[in-house]
Amino acid sequence: MPQTFAEKILAKKAGLASVQPGQIVEVTPDTALSHDNAAPIYGIFKKMGGKKIYDPDMIAIVLDHAAPAPSTKHAENHRIIREFVREQGVTHFYDVGRGICHQVLVEEGLSLPGELVLGSDSHTPHAGVMGAFAAGIGRSEMASIWALGKLWLRVPESLKIVVHGQLAPGVTAKDLALTVIGDLGNDGALYMSVEWYGEAIAAMSLESRAVLPNLMAEMGAKNSYIPSDQVVLDYLEGRAKRTFEPVYPDAGASYARELNYDAGRIEPVIAAPHRVDNVRPLSAFAGVHVDEAYLGTCSNGRLEDLAAAASVLKGRKVAPGTRLIVTPASSQVYLEALKAGYIQTFVEAGAMVESPGCGACMGNHMGVPAVGDVVISTANRNFRGRMGTRDSEIYLGSPYVVAAAAVAGEIVHPKDL
């Protein structure tokens, strides 16, 4: 029987000929990703009676959530992780400053076509951009993987999204992802595997494509997959940490749901407080005053996103009464943005540029809002309290839209600047 991507890869990883949605399988991940939560995970691992980790090569740890440490408590957390890494000989460790775990995993060639990535972070589906099966799990589950090298997974139903045609200039993968989430709701793909196809996807850069699986976490998806094409294989040349064998779904596989989008009809959109599926056209919010504009995060902190923002900010200034904070997704992005002159453009415009990591996205540090502040952000989550205080409002949009809001001091269409 023809199989979807999720069915095919989970059957392969479980050593079975085929599997059905709903079936429980036991699998060993190729990469087990964690971040600052590796310290509490280590605590759970010890509580489990764990002594030696199952496979030091399987584990990737990227310190990104509070990097560099904003408090002694956070610093202590990092110290415990560094000690763990030394003791257990963890191979793939990236200390503070390297970047956001999901971006680093891609850059370091640790998320590969046909591989299984499990991560103790809800945006782990991001790695599906490389043609991997990537799903988020909890801390205890990660500790159990460290101990036993395997975990149970339920084979998900699959949703197929085909995006025909091409996005208009100034319309981004973020607008596409938010449009889909707005249409389907925040549980529109609950427990599901979301596969992406179509000319619009094929024409996208890897940086743009990454936005799609990243955002699918906000639709409840277990994982999201983009078939690995030549663009992916070229990127991995000399970068992949291991040899790999891509997995592609079978023609004629059975999907729980199939959707078609016309890319040409997608327009710039905003996800308004306090839900990611509260999506309306950008024009609906024109004129909303913005105290803080935030450019960064695993959804939109890559070079292309910085380039988009720089194109808006070049020769302009951030509006008085508005702050612009830029947090590159990785040190590599930071360096490339320096070389390209984007960092200079940001600083000249009056922005603050912070060190790579998750930054203010989940309220830890480096630009958290005040009570009553309105934020426009390129992040993937705008829940009440997300950035630290429940009494702020977070709007989500593309890098163009965030940069334009920083210049105008209010939400505005970039073409109206």
Partner 1 sequence: MKTIKGRVWKYGDDVNTDVIFPGKYTYTVSDPAEMAQYALEDLDPSFAGNVQPGDIIVAGKNWGNGSSREQAVVCLTESGVGAIIAKSFARIYGRNCINNALPAITNAEAVDAIEHGEIIEIDMNAGEIRCAAGTFHFPPYPADVMAIIDAGGLVAYTRQKLAEQAA
Q: Is 35 in the site for partner 1 (CB under 8 A)?
A: no
Residue among 77, 103, 224, 377 that touches partner 1 (CB under 8 A)? 77
Of residues 217-256, those binding partner 1 (CB under 8 A): 220-222
Q: Is 121 in the site for partner 1 (CB under 8 A)?
A: yes
156 upstream amide cis, omega within 30 of 0: no
> Which residue number, 155 or 353, has a Cβ lying nearer to partner 1?
155
The one-letter code for the residue type at 221 is: A
Question: Do 11 and 3 touch, CB atoms closer than 8 A?
Answer: yes
274 upstream amide cis, omega within 30 of 0: yes
> Which residue number, 190 or 203, has a Cβ lying nearer to partner 1?
190
- Cα separation, 92 vs 31, in Å, equals 10
Burial class of residue 103, CB neighbours in 10 A (0-12, 13-18, 19+): buried
Residue among 19, 44, 90, 396 that touches partner 1 (CB under 8 A)? 44
* Contact stretch for partner 1 (CB under 8 A) within 158-166, 248-256, 327-335, 376-384: 376-384
Q: Is 144 in the site for partner 1 (CB under 8 A)?
A: yes
Cβ neighbors of 226 (< 8 A, separation 6 or more) are 128, 129, 131, 195, 196, 201, 209, 212, 213
Residue among 162, 168, 190, 231 that touches partner 1 (CB under 8 A)? 190
Burial 163-178 (b: 16+ CB within 10 A, else e): beebbeebbbbbbbbb
Smallest gap from residue 385 Cβ to partner 1 (A): 5
Place of tokens 């360096």: 335
Other CB atoms within 10 A of residue 345 CB: 22
Q: Is 372 in the site for partner 1 (CB under 8 A)?
A: no
Place of tokens 């090298």: 149
Q: Is 388 in the site for partner 1 (CB under 8 A)?
A: yes
Q: Is 140 in the site for partner 1 (CB under 8 A)?
A: yes
* Contact stretch for partner 1 (CB under 8 A) within 44-52, 254-262, 323-331, 340-348: 44-52
Smallest gap from residue 414 Cβ to partner 1 (A): 29
Catalog residues that contact partner 1 under the rule CB under 8 A: 24, 26, 36-37, 40, 43-44, 47-50, 65-66, 71, 73-74, 77, 120-122, 124, 136-141, 143-144, 147-148, 152, 186-187, 190-191, 220-222, 275, 362-364, 381, 383-386, 388, 390
